[in-house]
A and B are shown apart, each in its own frame.
Chain A
Amino acid sequence: MTTDEIRATVLRMLGEIAPEADPAQLKGDVDFRDQLDLDSMDVLNFVIAVDQELSVDIPETDYPRLGTLDGFVAYLAERLGTPVVP
């Protein structure tokens, strides 16, 4: 899975959690929880979706890395062993 595919997957999952928002408008370097007004239940549902769809179990100690879209895509790429494309 490429980083573009990871990003597209993450955006789709976020769109399902916050259907009134347009994830395509998300700024990559700003906390997406603030941009989408996500609460702790939304974040848990998002983590469950990542676990079920990408088989990545995100420990609670890594939750701070869920902050920005760019940071989270990089985190998932690392967990999935996606090669970094310069």
Chain B
Amino acid sequence: MGEFVMPTLGADMSAGTLIAWCKQPGDTVARGDIIAEVHTDKADIEVEVFVAGVIEKLLVEPGQQVPVGTPLALIREDGKAPAAAPEPPPAAAPEPPPAAAPAEPARLLVSPSAKSLAEELGVDLAAVHGTGPGGRIQRRDIEQAAAATPPPAPPAPAPPAPAPAPTEAEDRQAGMRRAIATAMARSKREAPHFYLSETIDLSRATGWLAEENHRRPVPDRLLPGVLLLKAAALALREVPELNATWQGEQVVQSDAVHLGIAIFLRGGGLVAPALHHADELSLDDLMHGFRDLVSRARAGSLRSSELSDPTITVTSLGERGAETVLPIIFPPQVAIVGFGRLVERPWISGGQLLPCPVVTATLAADHRVTDGHRASAFLTALDRLLQEPEDL
């Protein structure tokens, strides 16, 4: 009998709230199926299952917040006999969460559009019964509540207005900032960072890309960032000790390159889901995966493996960012690569001073794992690979 547990989706996560089950007892599941939706401080996540079998029992109800590692369901794995089910876990958190991630009050599960409608119609969300998955309050619940509300009585002298409760967006933003602060403070506290930078000539890369995009239909165009991602992924093959995580007191190198892509969210904050096997993807597949990740990150439909799997993170400030970024390693990873804005600068090439598009690449690495010599090798490989864009 396999246990399906509340996954850890990063070093900044200590607990999660089950939003809804996507499967029920008796349902057959295959590896990779979405089995539940979970709310974390950073995002609502679709959680995958990593065994094939049949759902035997659900142990946690939607709306419950439980610590990472808590069994959520029992799954009878293919080829294994049913077994007696253990007792379900205690409701709510069995132990106090760490101070850095204080327990939240009972959260109302409300869709964003329902929240807006409630504000518009003056409906008190606390008095609304949600009929969506896991008791989630939906628009129709608000409409019914509004219809059932008697007309307001004549106004009485108004008492002093209480402090307004935070909106769902504000609540989410606070959770996001808290999660980022926890992870970044831990990183700076535990990982001795060092930084190396390289200014890279992108004239060949941008020239090749302009020609390539000129002949492509609009939907198939590539962004410059995709070349940077592919070059970084390939450079990691040459300096694989940077493609690793720190576990306990030792480094564990990964055979696969799963690039965490830092994506800013419109409400504030950022997430860094994984582009799996980025070094093995063609530029077209990489671009497709990149677009898909950005779209789903902003729509709130990332999958659990995308948040738990990155082996290194890449952050790119894009065409409107600063020229240089000095990023902080996302634990338990041991390195992060930052790209600033592509700018045109005077550049000496072949004895001539010419205008040249350049990008500043910065590597932050963990001194427990590597040193300047090997980090330099990574940046040198990155530079070399970007001089041969047709081979990426």
B contact residues around A34 at 8 Å (CB): 320
Query: Which of B214-222, B234-242, B301-309, B328-336 lies at the interface?
Result: B214-222
Interface centre among B213, B218, B221, B223 (most CB of A within 10 A): B218
Q: Is B318 part of the contact surface with A, judged by Cβ < 8 Å? A: yes
Given contacts A48-B219, A58-B218, contact A40 B291 (CB under 8 A): no
Q: Which of A18, A33, A39, A51 contacts B219 (CB 8 A)?
A: A51
Question: B218 touching A51 by the CB < 8 A rule?
Answer: yes
Bitwise interface map of A from 46 to 64 toward B, beta carbon under 8 Å scored 1, else 0: 0110011000011110000
Is B214 a contact partner of A60 (Cβ separation < 8 A)?
Answer: yes
Chain A residue contacts of B213, Cβ below 8 A: 60
- Give the distance in Å from the alpha carbon of A59 to the alpha carbon of B221 in the complex: 10
Chain B residue nearest to A41 (CB atoms) is B294
Q: Which of A18, A44, A58 is the one whose CB lies under 8 Å from B223?
A: A44
How many contacts between A and B, using CB within 8 angstroms? 40
* Other-chain residue from A40, A51, A52 in contact with B225 (beta carbon distance below 8 A): A40
Interface of B is mostly: helix
Q: How far is the CA of A57 from the CA of B217 in the complex (A)?
A: 8
CB distance from B180 to the nearest CB of A (A): 18
* B221–A44 CB distance below 8 A: yes
Count residues of chain B with CB under 8 A from any CB of chain A: 19
Chain A interface extent, by class:
10 to 19
Instruction: Note all chain A residues with C-beta closer than 8 A to B223.
Output: 40-41, 44
A20 within 8 A of B: yes
* Residues of chain A contacted by B290 (CB below 8 angstroms): 41
Across the interface, do A60 and B318 meet the contact criterion of CB distance under 8 Å? no
CA–CA, A57 and B218, complex, Å = 7
CB distance from B344 to the nearest CB of A (A): 14
Hey, which bits of chain A sit against chain B, CB under 8 A? 18-20, 33-34, 37, 39-41, 44-45, 47-48, 51-52, 57-60
Q: Can you list 13 A-B pairs, Cβ within 8 angstroms, ordered by A?
A: A18-B266, A20-B266, A34-B320, A39-B264, A39-B318, A39-B319, A41-B223, A41-B291, A47-B221, A48-B219, A51-B217, A60-B213, A60-B221
Which residues does B use to contact A, with CB under 8 Å? 210, 213-214, 217-219, 221, 223-225, 264, 266-267, 290-291, 294, 318-320
